[in-house]
Amino acid sequence: YFDNGNQIFKDARREHYAVGAYNTNNLEWTRAELRAAEETRTPLLIQVSTGAAKYMGGYKFVKDMVADQIDSMNISVPVILNLDHGDYESAKECIALGYSSVMFDGHALPVEENLAKTKEIIKLAHERGISVEAEIGKIGENQGADGGELASVEDAITFYKAGVDKLACGIGNIHGVYPEGWKGLNFDRLKEIADAVPVPLVLHGGSGIPEDQVKKAISLGIAKVNINTEFQLAFQKATRKYIEDKKDLDTANKGYDPRKLLLPGTEAITAAMKEMISWLGTKSID
Ligand code: G3H
Ligand code: ZN
């Protein structure tokens, strides 16, 4: 069912476009994202965080759900299933379950330990043809305008040599909504890293970065852009409108039926993803 994405991301980096990595939270998210990918004929990386997997009942459920939807929706574009920000145990679990890609996020560990654990995950994953993403530096969290901690060029080289397939680097990016006064991406550091290592680079916290900065980052070597919050906001806005328009109170049309109540939000995710695909320049497979 799942492509490991190695060729897809290498092509993206070489040809200066990016493929989005879209988080799933439930069935609606999954179907909305698969639909946007199929309708644009572009490859899709669908990923799940530990929190979202717990919410849905575990990593196995997520894998089965995505695989079943690929079948029932007749999805014909490549789909990569990735564990997002996994710890060591989660990465091992997802490798055993047959995810085609895992991110081992050891950024909070001392760098030697991050490297040692990343190497162990690489060994386990590569034996099974599974792709590995690691994280260096620190992606900021959305308190204050602080963009986390910049990844060093030295660490990028070390992790590249260890065999990572993709590398997430702190370059001033922040998860969640960008705060007032955010300083923007650090393109100097991104360029230094991209000049030093040929591996596809990953931009986390892709929601809310101005289009010109996303495009510049891609031109410099970003090949994967992670998007989560953007779709949550799109879903929220459309759902809010449905309720403010009192459509949920329309008993004649059963506006309270979840299949109706969740539809505008679901469609908004598909629309938001199509817009992202065009920003990222994701190349269609045909
Ligand atoms: O790993 C997931 C992403 O980095 C999502 O970040 O919610 O800011 O789009 P975001
Ligand atoms: Zn992230």
| 174 Cα nearest atom in ligand 1 | 8
Based on the residue annotation, tell me whether 84 is a catalytic residue of this protein: yes
Domain CATH code at residue 162: 3.20.20.70
Q: Which residues contact 243 (CB under 8 A, 6 or more apart)?
A: none
Tokens, residue 175: 């998860």
Judge contact between 37 and 43, C-beta under 8 A: yes
Label the pairing between strands 44-49 and 79-86. Answer: parallel
Record the pTM: 0.97
Evaluate whether residue 67 is within a structural domain: yes
Pocket test for ligand 1, best of 104, 178, 224, 229 (most atoms within 8 A of CB): 229
Separation of alpha carbons 80 and 37, rounded Å? 12
Residue 286 lies in a domain: no
Residue 67 backbone dihedrals phi, psi, to 5 degrees: -60, -45
Q: Whose CA is nearest to atom 4 of ligand 1?
A: 204
Confirm whether 166 is domain-assigned. Answer: yes
User: What does residue 86 show for φ and ψ, rounded to 5 degrees?
Assistant: -80, 150
* C-beta separation of 159 from 136 below 8 A: yes
What pLDDT, on the 0 to 100 scale, is given for residue 141?
84
**Residue 271 falls inside a structural domain:** yes
Q: Is residue 1 part of a domain?
A: no
Which bound ligand lies closest to the C-alpha atom of 50?
Answer: 1
Q: What is the dihedral of CA 109, 111, 114, 120, to 10 degrees?
A: -150
pLDDT at 50: 98
Assigned domain for 120 exists: yes
Q: How far apart are CA 274 and CA 271, in angstroms?
A: 5
One digit per residue, pLDDT tens: the chain, 286 residues?
A: 899 999 999 999 999 999 999 999 999 999 999 999 999 999 999 999 999 999 999 999 999 999 999 999 999 999 999 999 999 999 999 999 999 999 999 999 999 999 999 999 999 999 999 999 999 999 988 665 667 899 999 999 999 999 999 999 999 999 999 999 999 999 999 999 999 999 999 999 999 999 999 999 999 999 999 999 999 999 999 999 999 999 999 999 999 999 999 999 999 999 999 999 999 999 999 8
- pLDDT confidence of residue 253: 97
pLDDT the model gives residue 286 = 86
Range of the domain at 39: 6-280
Structural contact between residues 140 and 173, judged by C-beta atoms closer than 8 angstroms: yes
Q: Which of 3, 64, 84, 248 is an active site residue?
A: 84
Q: What's the structural domain count of the chain? A: 1
Angle at 53 between CA 205 and CA 272, to 5 degrees: 45
The span from the CA of 79 to the CA of 134, in Å, is 20
